[in-house]
Structure 1
Amino acid sequence: MSTFLLLSASMGDGHDTVAAALAERLRADGHQAVRADVLELLPGRLLGAGLRGSYQTCMRYAPWVYGGVHAAFLRPSRGPGSAPMAAAAGPGLLALVEQASCDAVVSVFHLAAQTAGRLRSSGRLRVPSAVVVTDFALHQQWLHPGNDLHLCLTPQIADEVAAATGRPAVATGAILGTRVLAARKAPQQAGSAAQAGVPVERPRVLVSAGAWGVGSRFADTARALTAAGFAPAVLCGRNERLRRRLSLLPGVEALGWQEDLPAVLASSSALVDNAAGQTALEALALGLPVVGFRPIPGHGRQGVLAMAELGLTRVAATPHELVRELADLIHGPARPVDPALFDGDPAAELARLVGAPGRGA
């Protein structure tokens, strides 16, 4: 049995969701998993909270500013990055590794990857360091040659990482939680009702705004879907102001934070996505077609385009295109996603990294 320190960041909910799902996988294989937030390792604690708060405010009210920051510091690149704050989080990470007596550090956020990579390359971090790359559009802050292993969503991303760092990278696919995996094993409950042969007068289409309820022109999108004969349901996350505003629109279902998102997905016919994050992956795992529309700037836009290029989703540039794509996907033949995207075993790869037996060993 090995102990893994999973280092995530509460920037939205996607990274924490992946870390929680990975912890479930590791524990099921008999290992211990300790979760921590890299923002809490920054000195003074207020620095991490300030970063989180400023990022949330920026994404809600001035997303174009984040787009500029992404272009300047998080741009796609084939070379390793350098995060100045990684040095500041280093002492906290070393203290946590010693306290937890862990056998490996697993970064599920790019600042964590930079922090662990710096410490590993300098010899101060004496246990292996792995990185779970959660983005479809790779950027340089995920890359540090000090890390021992990268776990990636697809073989294409793994090849990019290996070429950029000179270090091992493998494709383990999406890391899904137990609720999604359970729903995935019940195909009669998942996917498009229309594709399953069930008549649907007004197919329910989810519109995702992420955990923080960020994005643009949700009311316009909902109106366009309603006018086209769909029943839009907007996932507003924890943005209560957005939920209240959208709840006033006729024919629109405005949803707050969902504790059981797989159940909501399973009762819907399609997802309109703006971030290429965990919600889109869970939708695909449950058989829902996904259309990218009005993506958030930076990693959202890059990821939406990357998913479409891989043939996993489609992209619409206008409300007319969105309606057309949804009609084709919902009422047309099902287009299954390669099961390799969901059937990988990241826990086994991590066990191999530390020389521990995995499932079935």
Structure 2
Amino acid sequence: MSLSDVLILSVEAGAGHIRAAQALHSALKKRGIRSHIEDIFTCGPSWVFRFTIGSYMHMLHYTPGLYRKLYDTSATLKVGSLSKSFFNQSLWKYLGPGLKALLQEHKPRVVICTHPFPLGLLSVLKKEESLDLKTAGVVTDFSFHPFWIYSDCDRYYVAAEDLIDEIEKLGDKREKAVVTGIPIDPSFLTVTDMKREAAEEVAALSSASHRILIMGGSLGLGALDVWVNSLLLQMQNSDIDTWQIVVVAGKNKSLEERLSAIESPHLKVYGFTDKIAYLMASSDLLITKPGGLSSSEAIALELPQLLLSPLPGHEERNYQFLLKKDVARGASTVEELTKLTIQLIKDHKERSLLQEGAKKLKKAQAAYHVAEDIDKILSQTSVMGS
């Protein structure tokens, strides 16, 4: 008897990949399917995580142009194939033995990956050993990268129909893809039909006719305090009644302190919070960077989005996709952000247009759709190692 029917492997690079894993764990549990979540980097020395993710964060902060070049170059089919092979073999040297031990401990029949790194390691393992093990990738962005593509991967769960064509272009079979949406926390389903006043009460917010929610992801990235000061000044000079700006600083304590030092009765500041669903349900506009999870959460609640300049790589692809689908507008400067925010707050028709775009794209039940398909796969597979 296996300890887990499903092993969910992720990477704590930002909170999105882990949040998707947690949403899947909850959905699988509702179907009576045992699952366990593990960060793939726990399979090896701690320095491997610090070096790999640390290098990524360092490039994003200090040399974003270099990271963009590397991302775009590796996104081509030929270079992507070579670079991911080298990368996976390098990671396997340090994480492979731990991954083997993890699989022996849990004996799963299906392994789901919400990040491409563990999917790559599983591909190396499948080539080295004959395993009766199904693997699946849950893509947490609105685009595909070659690092997700492996001929021995059995299923890809994707955000939209558009991504199926990308899978085929990158050399894998389109029938492996299932359009489920990006898995989000069940709390977003809970608030879908909740009245604004009830959501405000849960989030400990005072009543406001117009509310702007600003987020910089779990790490609180971006000069949010600069944007907030500019918005407060312009909003005070506008003719908009009973408005409020809510900012989530995430785990960025320094940012939280700077925001909390701003004196305004129209400003409410949160650090890291589990009330995001209720904050979104209480808001008229979300200003954020285009992360796959946060955007999907807003889309599930049909909340119009104003996107900040994206990080290079996958966020730039998300940015382009979301603007194309008419669920968001974009701003690249503080002046443009301030101007568009006031326009969108005043223009109900424009916000309605963005809500319509979200309504067409939203897949709030994504986690349950993935769990349903996994249930079908489990019914067709035998216990690993039996």
TM-score (norm 1): 0.85
Alpha-carbon distance in structure 1 between the residues aligned to 2:177 and 2:327: 21
- Per mean C-alpha deviation after superposition, the further-off stretch among 278-287 and 30-39 is 278-287
Offset at residue 329 of structure 1 (A): 3.8
Conservation of the 8 A alpha-carbon contact between 1:27 and 1:33? yes
Offset at residue 157 of structure 1 (A): 1.1
- For 2:155, which of 139, 149, 152 is the aligned residue? 149
SS in 2 for 1:272: strand
Partner of 2:273: 258
The Cα offsets for residues 91-124 of structure 1, whole Å up to 9 and x where unpaired, read as 3222211210101111111111211223234444
Partner of 1:269: 284
Partner of 2:211: 204
Partner of 1:234: 247
Conservation of the 8 A alpha-carbon contact between 1:191 and 1:288? no
Q: Which 5+ residue runs of structure 2 have no aligned equivalent?
A: 201-206, 236-242, 382-386
Partner of 2:43: 41
Partner of 2:260: 247
Partner of 1:279: 294
Residues 1:163 and 1:253: Cα distance change in structure 2 (over 3 Å): same
Partner of 1:110: 116
The Cα offsets for residues 159-196 of structure 1, whole Å up to 9 and x where unpaired, read as 2124324231121112121211111243656999xxxx
From the two aligned structures, give the one with the greater helix fraction: 2
SS in 1 for 2:63: helix
- Per mean C-alpha deviation after superposition, the further-off stretch among 180-189 and 278-287 is 180-189
SS in 1 for 2:269: strand
Partner of 1:195: none
Residues 1:317 and 1:54: Cα distance change in structure 2 (over 3 Å): closer
Give the root-mean-square deviation of aligned CA atoms: 2.8
Offset at residue 223 of structure 1 (A): 2.0
Conservation of the 8 A alpha-carbon contact between 2:211 and 2:284? yes
Partner of 2:7: 5
Q: Which structure has the larger Rg?
A: 2
Partner of 2:348: 332
Offset at residue 238 of structure 1 (A): 0.7
Alpha-carbon distance in structure 1 between the residues aligned to 2:362 and 2:299: 12
SS in 1 for 2:165: helix
Give the number of the structure with larger relative contact order, counting CA–CA contacts within 8 Å between residues 6 or more apart: 2
What are the within-5 Å matches in structure 2 for residues 346-357 of structure 1?
346-355=370-379
The letter for the 1-side match of 2:301 is L
SS in 1 for 2:191: helix
Partner of 1:321: 336
Residues 1:172 and 1:218: Cα distance change in structure 2 (over 3 Å): same
Alpha-carbon distance in structure 1 between the residues aligned to 2:158 and 2:110: 18
Alpha-carbon distance in structure 2 between the residues aligned to 1:288 and 1:340: 11
Conservation of the 8 A alpha-carbon contact between 2:213 and 2:246? yes
Offset at residue 53 of structure 1 (A): 4.5
- Per mean C-alpha deviation after superposition, the further-off stretch among 23-32 and 224-233 is 224-233
Conservation of the 8 A alpha-carbon contact between 1:221 and 1:319? yes
Residues 1:312 and 1:121: Cα distance change in structure 2 (over 3 Å): farther
Q: Which 5+ residue runs of structure 1 have no aligned equivalent?
A: 193-198
Residues 1:19 and 1:180: Cα distance change in structure 2 (over 3 Å): same
SS in 2 for 1:6: strand
Please say if 1:87 is aligned against 2:92. yes
Alpha-carbon distance in structure 2 between the residues aligned to 1:153 and 1:261: 21
How many aligned positions are there? 345
The letter for the 1-side match of 2:231 is L
Residues 1:148 and 1:123: Cα distance change in structure 2 (over 3 Å): farther
Offset at residue 332 of structure 1 (A): 1.2
- For 2:191, which of 161, 183, 191 is the aligned residue? 183
Percent of matched pairs sharing the same residue: 23
Alpha-carbon distance in structure 1 between the residues aligned to 2:119 and 2:275: 29
The letter for the 2-side match of 1:10 is E
Alpha-carbon distance in structure 1 between the residues aligned to 2:375 and 2:197: 33
SS in 2 for 1:219: helix
Offset at residue 313 of structure 1 (A): 1.7
Alpha-carbon distance in structure 2 between the residues aligned to 1:165 and 1:92: 30
The Cα offsets for residues 227-265 of structure 1, whole Å up to 9 and x where unpaired, read as 231633221111101111122223343320002211222
Alpha-carbon distance in structure 1 between the residues aligned to 2:195 and 2:125: 45
TM-score (norm 2): 0.80
Partner of 2:240: none
The letter for the 2-side match of 1:27 is K
Conservation of the 8 A alpha-carbon contact between 2:220 and 2:252? yes
